[in-house]
Amino acid sequence: MREVAIIGIGMMKWGELWEKSIRDLCVEAALNCLKDAGTDRVDSITVGTMSSGLFTGQEHLASIVPDYLGTKNAPAMRVESACASGGLAVKSGFMEVASGLSDFVLAVGVEKMTDVSGGEATYALATAADQEWEGFHGVTFPGLYAMMALAHMEKYGTTREQLADVAVKNHFNGSMNSHAQFPMKVTREQVMNSVMVADPIRILDCSPITDGAAAVLLTTVEEAQKITNHPLTVISGIGHATDTIALSQRSDLYSLKAVEIATERALKMAGKTIENIDFAEVHDCFTIAEIMVMEAMGVVKPGQGGPATSDGFSSLEGSFPINPSGGLKSKGHPVGATGVAQIVEAVNQLRGLSENRQIKNAKTALTQNMGGSGGSSVVHILEVK
């Protein structure tokens, strides 16, 4: 298996991008990525998107992207794993390069979510849940994560204040990210007094509806050494796992087994332990998700995610920084793009180019992307070679 490096990263400011179509978003992110890489060579393309048909009416992005990028006839494929579609696109690109099938693979993640009403967006997102046992009965993702939060509170004593502190931390980080949809700071009181969505989840516990795209260019280490002027960043480990799609079929509601297994697999492939990781970008679709992910990855023991957040353990200057980008909470969550954007942030940090939110001496990163309520998860380990 060939060693795989990331030589280009690209995205744009995320938000409600009314003037841009889904193809515009893909092309802008891809061109920014190729410019960063210093090459326009693309042998193949992987596109991660969750529900482009429901959000925009446009399927067949495997044709749209190479067509409008100017790489017509390039082989391309679309991959989907709900909100983990972006991470899966990067994994798919990695496999093409590692196997020798392609030398330069462009992995793009995208979602255009604001062209439909709030109700239609809620329906599109709910397709990542079990339609027979959850969606049919009216359960939405705030409701599912609210049940998970209540179970976690009951089991471990996690508090409403600790949930709020996740949002406070991530908005602080995102306030220094020029790509973030909501780059403003919030207080614990603002979070706890914001509109209730599904008790105990409030609106400032939730990631937003977002338009955006991100892209990375993957190649072999040998090719990268000929081209890049950046510190050489390699993907040394990948883990991928699934769990039951319905919460009711799991052994408990306060842990994330797919995250645990995917992390174990990624660390084993990289030959590392969680103690070797300098920081992580994780899937904080709701504040409780970040707390549960911390625990599932082994960053802290079960039940300690809330206290660790409030104590500053996961802050930019803490022992294990989490979501220096601002996470989904502040940066935004165009569902198919999130996993790729996590890679973009990790590479930027490893290059030492994240300015006011730069993590000191960052050499090894982990990204964790998750579908639905934890029904799937993809983990990548990146390091400077």
Element (H, E) at 212: strand 211-220
* Non-local CB neighbours of 143 within 8 Å, separated by 6+ positions: 198
Residue from 152, 179, 283, 333 carrying the catalytic annotation: 333
**Count of alpha carbons within 13 angstroms of residue 61, beta-carbon side:** 31
CB 86, CB 109: distance < 8 Å? yes
Catalytic-residue membership of 83: yes
Residue from 26, 83, 206, 285 carrying the catalytic annotation: 83
Rounded-to-integer distance, Cα 144 and Cα 152, Å: 13
Closest CA to 246 of 334, 136, 118, 336: 136
Catalytic-residue membership of 333: yes
For residue 367, the SS3 value is strand
Rounded-to-integer distance, Cα 84 and Cα 339, Å: 6
Q: What angle do CA 76, 78, 80 make, to 5 degrees?
A: 160
CB 56, CB 20: distance < 8 Å? no
**Catalytic annotation, residues:** 83, 333
